[in-house]
Amino acid sequence: MSYEFHRFFYLLIAVVATAAVVAVSALILIYLERKVAGHVQRRPGPFEVGPHGVLQTVADALKLMGKQPFRPDGADRLLFWLAPILAFAPALPLLLPIPFGPVLTGLEVNLGLILILAFSGINALALCMAGWGSNNKWALLGAARAVAQSVGYEIPLLMSVLSVAFMTGTLNLSKIVAYQGPWPWHWNIFTQPLAFLIYFVCAVAETNRAPFDLPEAESELTAGFHTEYSGMGFGLFFLAEYTNMLVVCSVATALFLGGWQAPFLPGFWWFLIKIYLLLLIIIWFRWTFPRLRFDQLLNLNWKWLLPLGLANLMGTALLMKIF
Amino acid sequence: MDSVNRIRDDVAGLWSLVKGLKVTGTCFARDQVTVHYPRAQVDNLRTFRGPIELVESPDDPRRPRCIACMTCAGVCPHGCITVVRKKPAKMEKGTEKGGGSDKGEAKKKARKGPATFTYDYTRCCLCGFCVENCPVRSIRFSSRGYLAGIDKGAFVFDLLEKFGEEERSQKPEPGVTSPATAG
Amino acid sequence: MMSGWIEGLQPLGRLTDPYEKTGSSCSIVLAREDLRDAVVGLYEEGFFLEDITGMDFAEGFATVYHFDHPQEPCRASLYVTVSHQMPAIPSISDIFTGAEWHEREVADFFGIRFTGHPDPAPLLVPDDMDSPPLIKGEEDRIPFEGFLNACGGVDKPNASQLFSQGEPQHALPDPGLRRSEGEDDPDTMVINMGPQHPSTHGVLRVILRLDGEYIVEARPVIGYLHRMHEKMAETRTWVQYIPNMGRVDYLNAMAWNWAYVGAVERLAQIRAPERAEYIRVIVSELNRISSHLVWWGALLLDLGAFTPIMYGFEDREHILDLLQVLTGSRLTYSFFRPGGVAGDVNDDFLKGCLKFVRHMRERLPMYAELVTENIIFRRRTEGIGLLPLEMCRRYGATGPVVRGSNLAYDVRRVEPYSIYHRFDFKIPVDTGCDAMGRYCVRMAEIEESLKIVEQAVEQIPGGDHILKKSPGPRWKAPPGEAYFAVEGARGKIGVYVVSDGGPKPYRVKLRAPGFSNLSLFGELVRGALFADAVSILGSLDLVIPEIDR
């Protein structure tokens, strides 16, 4: 009894801590994104609220919370309000199995990777509900794009992850990290560069980030699936986007970049540094590239990533069998 | 063959993406080019042509050079200038009544000039016809670039205001004030 | 001189004033019944439609059709007259598809009916407008006879011949309001792109009928920004109207300034001093570059890249700073005057121009690296929005749009005005006919404009910047007509002025290049993907205030 209670208490702390990580990192990420955008465009970015505008995101969050929740006439009440919650809710279980440090894992499960892949699928459902429930044609187009995109890109993503799982022989993220060593040539990216590339492209696409931000493509679909959302409805989608970025980058770090394994600094800091490097690259992409067209997006997936992922998977399997 | 070329083009295209990242990356590292407005202002405000203003008379900086000939009001495409002439007869009468002022000043007072000079900046298109066509070069552009107000009325300027300060300081002297200047 | 089309026609009258005076090489008054024959002849000889202008005279309405040829300056003006009581003219929109919009515009402004028009709905004015805005009061009208006399009319027809025609005999069947294709198809959906949409750059509305992501039908709806500049012209004096030109197209105010001032100068038969012409060339080319820079950024913004517009604006800022020194404004310049320009340039300005030319040349490779070579950008524009040359001609498309379809038509070369013949520059063309072709043409034009600026700065002579006795705000223009065209950033800008000898214009017609360039959008995007519609719209470089006027 006491052991189970202990376990439960531990999980509770983990959930609360994860929620805190999500909230704080979202604030940091949004600030980072604006600053990077600003400096790339040779302007300062947010500058007025707080020193160098650090409190700008907080001010924006307060503004979003203060807005009246508004549902357009003819929108489906249940779907419309459920969608943003459903978009954000999976963020917690997604972050639980991730090993932030040698002993910093919220939920040590053997099938951690499966858990993450399973819960990440909910996002597509949320976008679909938002698009359909809004009773808006732009949103509908956005939702249709979101579903096709998520479903398509999940497959090569899965394959690249599987190649790593083949090599390490486990689906437990902590064990995958432990399998790798502290130096870069010990990391999985060294043995699986192609898988990492595929994973990263798919991760950007899965999180609907530019240049794959077609479901919201504001120059085409005004705002895509969240056209009709304002206030906290929009805020939750926004939060979900950044949390998803955090999740995919954490998984990438754990799978390919040796997780917390690195010399000199304590593991937790290394993990953070690696995550934020990946996040910076994703942000950098957004402020550099034009958007793909929808058919090009799917072509890239089905004609390039999928065959490459498959080949990589088979190659890995073959090599594992031989050696 | 075509598809082979296309595949090659696609792969080569990856390099173009890296080059794009290089461009934005370099700009990220470079200085900003924008001006932090409330802390700093642009340095070329001097050449900016904002709302018009009246030029001081060369022999008496307290009065405008304007002779109230109405050319500016006539050439303005949008009718944003309203000038009311001083009535010279009343003016002379006024100065005579005052009596205290010397002869030279009385002569100046008798000169033609505007009683009111109202300028509606909300209708002005800054074309400069009034400036170009003023026979005595009494109108010039100011370089007021930072104008703000909360109602339209704030942009209807009385261009005699800056001269009015001096005139008002003279007001206590009885007889100098005439009904025309008061209006 | 192309004149084969005129054979076999029996014009009711001719206007003999030479090209130098009117900007028109061949002006004839036609009976309504002969209009379509003449237009077919013009089409076969390779002419394109510039604009259709209505005019209100004492006896009735006169409609002027201006055609021009892309190889040589031989503007053909056809005058067709109808009575006030029964204003009906056969439509030519089945010959020149672009005439569809021009005719709707004339119908809006004058209430003239075009028989056989496929879609006679109001274009610029509100649907419930009850009186056409450009109809003059009884006392303001001048007789058409007088107008003909002022323009050197010979073989003058009598009024009864001209204006007493009844219903046109060659009237085409009136198809009524256009029904859209697939209107009843349950698998398609109508979606309104605009008037508030991030990619329509202002208040353009496009009614799209989508089948999934494919466009079945697209109908641009304009007029949300219509300010009736042409009516304003009739309430201001000749010079007072110049500030309006800065507002027609806010990105290319200098070219519009020039087109209007050029028309007035041609009407008055005055020439600006040499130095003024050089200043005009310098500021116009700088303005063209700044307009192209905004277009470049906006196109990339449409395609989802946020950063280029900031880089474009960064460079454009240098141009604005230069022009601010000269004109005092940064966007809506009213700098040109009949007989010169409003201000003189000094050495600092000229040095600044050369410095900018050097700076811009250093920046262009960066533009190419960031955008032109980018694989995503290329895939989004190559082969998108294929615009055959024949279609350009049917719609009267000009500027980079037609040059992107491999026709080296540039007013600066074909109908050289001012001193453009003195400069060494190329007319960039592209064989692509696609969005990428139009993109490449504009990017090359920036370089050519830099070359022109460089040469003009080197060659600029001393002297006055404006005539000693230039027309003032109360100046009265001699009676007559004049057409003047310049090459704007978006294509051929044409201004047609008619004077009755008074201080105010009798009629001013503004030919906006974007008007014709947008009218082909509906046909161009049919069958394209929705995302392509955005890149096509961006590649046409539309400025809505110019189109709506």
User: Count of H helices and E strands in chain C?
Assistant: 20, 16
DSSP conformation letters of C163-217? H---S-TTPPP---SPPPTTTT-TT-EEEEE-SS-TTSSSS-EEEEEEETTEEEE
Question: Does residue C178 belong to any structural domain of this protein?
Answer: no
Same domain, yes or no: C236 and C355: yes
Rounded to the nearest 10 degrees, the angle between the axes of helix A112-120 and helix A231-256 is 150
Single out the residue of C251, C343, C474, C482 nearest to residue B77, CA to CA.
C474
Work out the minimum CA distance from B86 to partner chain A, whole angstroms: 51
Higher pLDDT, A198 or A180: A198
- Tell me: do B76 and B128 sit in the same domain: yes
Determine the pLDDT at residue B110.
Answer: 54
> What distances in angstroms separate CA C140 from CA A143, C158, C170, C305, one per listed residue?
60, 21, 33, 53
Residue A9 has pLDDT above 50, yes or no: yes
Q: What is the pLDDT of residue B169?
A: 47
C337 and C466 Cβ atoms separated by less than 8 Å: yes
- Measured distance CA(C77)–CA(C66) in Å, rounded: 5
Residues B63 and B138 in one domain: yes
* Counted domains in chain C: 2
For residue B176, name the pLDDT band (cuts at 50, 70, 90).
very low
Q: Is the dihedral of CA C108, C112, C114, C120 positive or negative?
A: positive
Q: Are residues C238 and C359 in the same domain?
A: yes
Give the other-Cβ count within 10 Å of A212's Cβ.
26
Residue B35 lies in a domain: no
Q: What angle do CA A44, A50, A51 make, to 5 degrees?
A: 60
Owning domain of residue B109: 45-168
In a domain, B182, yes or no: no
Q: What angle do CA A210, A215, A220 make, to 5 degrees?
A: 85
Q: Is residue B175 part of a domain?
A: no
Across the range B8-26, mean pLDDT stands at 85
Q: Which of B16, B47, B129 sits opposite C324 (nearest CB)?
A: B47
Determine the average pLDDT of the residues in C57-81.
87
**Three-state secondary structure string covering A225-282:** HHCCCCHHHHHHHHHHHHHHHHHHHHHHHHHHCCCCCCCCCCHHHHHHHHHHHHHHHH
Output the pLDDT for position C161: 65
Please indicate, yes or no, whether residues C455 and C321 belong to a single structural domain of this protein: yes
**Torsion of Cα atoms, B31 then B32 then B38 then B40, to 10°:** 50
Per-residue pLDDT for C293 more than 90?
A: yes
C199 touches chain A (CB under 8 A): yes
Same domain, residue pair B88 and B140: yes
Among C114, C283, C268, C234, smallest CA distance to C510 is for: C234
Q: Are residues C361 and C510 in the same domain?
A: yes
Residue of C nearest to A142 (CA): C213
Lowest mean pLDDT among A137-141, A153-157, A176-180, A264-268: A264-268
Q: Domain for residue B81, yes or no? A: yes
Check whether residue B96 and residue B138 sit in a common domain.
Answer: yes
Domain's final residue, options C163, C184, C213: C163
Does residue C236 form part of some domain?
A: yes
In a domain, B36, yes or no: no
Interface test mutation site (partner B, options C322, C341, C373, C475, max chain B beta carbons within 10 A): C373
Of C531, C536, C488, C532, the closest CA to residue C513 belongs to C488
Q: Provide the domain count of chain B.
A: 2
Question: Token pair 């089948």 is at which residue?
Answer: C211
Domain containing C305 equals 229-548
**Is C214 within the bounds of a domain?**
no
Beta strands in C248-299 (DSSP E): none
Distances (CA, A) of C128 to A176, A262, C121, C226: 72, 74, 11, 15
> Are residue C372 and residue C496 in the same domain, yes or no?
yes
Regarding whether C244 and C336 lie in a shared domain, the answer is yes
Q: Which ipTM was obtained for this model?
A: 0.85
Which of B23, B76, B128 is closest, CB to CB, to C342? B128
Cis omega (within 30 of 0) on the bond before C195? yes
* Listed residue (A189, A167, A163, A315) closest to A254, CA to CA: A189
Lowest mean pLDDT among C42-56, C80-94, C385-399: C80-94
* CB-nearest partner of C530 from A220, A291, A292: A220
Q: Which residue of C244, C373, C473 is in closest CB contact with B75?
A: C473
B159 and B80 belong to one structural domain: yes
- Tell me which chains share at least 3 CB pairs under 8 Å with chain A: B, C
pLDDT tens readout for residues A147-170: 888 888 888 988 888 888 888 888
> How large is the average pLDDT for residues C186-203?
80
Give the number of other Cβ atoms within 10 Å of residue B168's Cβ.
12
Asked whether residue C185 is domain-assigned, the answer is no
Domain co-membership, C158 together with C240: no
The verdict on residue B150 lying in a domain is yes
Q: Answer for the pair A216, A142: CB distance below 8 angstroms, yes or no.
A: yes
Whether C247 and C357 share a structural domain: yes
Please list, in sequence order, all residues whose beta carbon lies within 8 angstroms of the beta carbon of residue A266, skipping any fewer than 6 positions away. A101
Residue B123 within any structural domain of the chain: yes
Same domain, B25 and B99: no
- The stretch A179-197 carries a mean pLDDT of 82
Q: Tokens 């999500």 appear where?
A: A22
Grade residue B173 by pLDDT with cuts at 50, 70 and 90: very low
Structural domain contains residue B37: no
* Inter-chain touch B22–C239, beta carbons under 8 Å: no
Nearest chain A residue to C300 by CA: give it.
Answer: A290
C52 forms beta bridges with: C65
Min mean pLDDT across B90-104, C117-131, C283-297, C336-350 is at: B90-104
Report yes or no on C198 lying in a domain.
Answer: no
**Closest-CA residue in chain C for A140?**
C212
Cα nearest neighbour of C199 on chain A:
A219
H/E stretch holding C389: helix C389-395
Direct distance between the N- and C-terminal alpha carbons of chain C, in angstroms, rounded to an integer: 33
Which pLDDT belongs to residue B183? 33
pLDDT confidence of C496, banded at 50, 70, 90?
A: very high
At B99 the pLDDT is 44
C516 and C98 Cβ atoms separated by less than 8 Å:
yes
Residue A109 buriedness (CB in 10 A; 0-12 / 13-18 / 19+): middle
**Stretch B159-175: mean pLDDT:** 57
Containing C115, the helix (H) or strand (E) segment is: strand C113-115
Residues C514-523: tens digit of each pLDDT: 899 998 898 8
What is the average pLDDT across B45-52? 85
**Average pLDDT rounded to a whole number, residues B17-23:** 87
Distances (CA, A) of B147 to B121, B143, B150, B152, C9: 11, 10, 11, 12, 62
Average pLDDT of the segment spanning C404-408: 88
| C126, C256: one domain | no
* Per-residue pLDDT tens digits for A282-323: 999 989 888 888 888 888 888 888 999 899 988 888 888 887
Answer whether A41 touches B (CB < 8 Å): yes
A293 vs C: CB within 8 A: yes
Report d(CA C35, CA C43) in Å as an integer.
12
Question: Shortest CA distance to C63 belongs to which of C103, C5, C97, C94?
Answer: C103
- Whether C147 and C239 map to the same domain: the answer is no
CB atoms within 10 A of CB B144: 14
Q: Residue A239 and residue A15: Cα distance in Å, rounded?
A: 17
- For residue C191, being part of any structural domain is answered with no
pLDDT tens string A206-251: 888 878 887 777 777 877 888 888 888 888 888 888 888 888 998 8
On whether both B22 and B101 belong to a single domain, the answer is no
Q: In this complex, how many residue pairs, one in chain A and one in chain C, have their CB atoms less than 8 Å apart?
A: 78
pLDDT at B102: 47
- C176: pLDDT strictly greater than 60: no
- Contact yes or no for B34 and A304 at CB 8 A: no
**Pick the residue with more confidence: B173 or C99?**
C99
Number of H helices, E strands in chain A: 15, 0
What pLDDT score does C295 carry? 92
Transcribe A58-87 into DSSP letters.
HHHHHHHHHSPP---TT--HHHHHHHHHHH
User: What's the pLDDT band for B63 if we cut at 50, 70, 90?
Assistant: confident
CA distance A251 to A273: 14
Q: Which of residues C142, C163, C184 is at a domain's end?
A: C163
* CB distance A201 to A159 below 8 Å: no
Minimal Cβ distance to A137: which of C189, C198, C310? C189
* Mean pLDDT (whole number) for B81-97: 62
Contact C374, A289 (CB under 8 A): yes
- What average pLDDT does this structure show over B116-144? 87
CB contact under 8 A, C531 and A42: no
> Which of B23, B129, B141 lies closest to C370 in CB terms?
B23
Do C154 and C234 sit in the same domain of this protein? no
Q: In CATH, what number is assigned to the domain containing residue B159?
A: 3.30.70.3270
User: What percentage of residues in chain B have a pLDDT greater than 70?
Assistant: 75
pLDDT for residue A67 is more than 80: yes
C359 touches chain B (CB under 8 A): no
A40, A222, A290 ranked by CB distance to C303: nearest: A290
Rg (CA), chain A: 20
Task: Select the residue from C306, C375, C379 to test the A interface by mutation, using most A Cβ atoms within 10 A.
Answer: C306
> Are B28 and A39 a contacting pair at CB < 8 A?
yes
Closest-CA distance, A285 to chain B, in angstroms, reads: 7
Answer whether A42 sits within 8 Å of B27, measured CB to CB.
yes
Instruction: Give C365 to chain A, closest Cα distance, Å.
Output: 16
Find the angle CA(A296)-CA(A300)-CA(A304) to the nearest 5 degrees. Answer: 150
Say if C179 falls within a structural domain. Answer: no
Task: Examine the domain organization and report whether B150 and B87 are in the same domain.
Answer: yes
The DSSP symbol for B56 reads B
In sequence order, what are the beta bridge partners of B85?
B114
Phi/psi at C217 (5° precision): -155, 145
Nearest to B34 among A44, A285, A288 (CB): A44
C159: Cα separation from own chain's centroid: 32
Q: Which residue on chain A is closest to B30 by alpha carbon?
A: A42
CATH of the domain at C42: 3.30.460.80
- Say whether both B81 and B129 belong to one domain: yes
C153 pLDDT tier (thresholds 50, 70, 90)? confident
Residues 235-254 of C with CB under 8 A from B: 236, 239-244, 246-247
Same domain, C154 and C236: no
Give all strands (DSSP E) within C243-385, no chain letters: 336-337, 340-341
Contacts of A286 in chain C (CB under 8 A): 306
B77 chain-C contacts, CB cut-off 8 A = 236, 240-241, 243-244
List the single best residue of C256, C375, C466, C508 to mutate versus B (max B Cβ within 10 A): C375
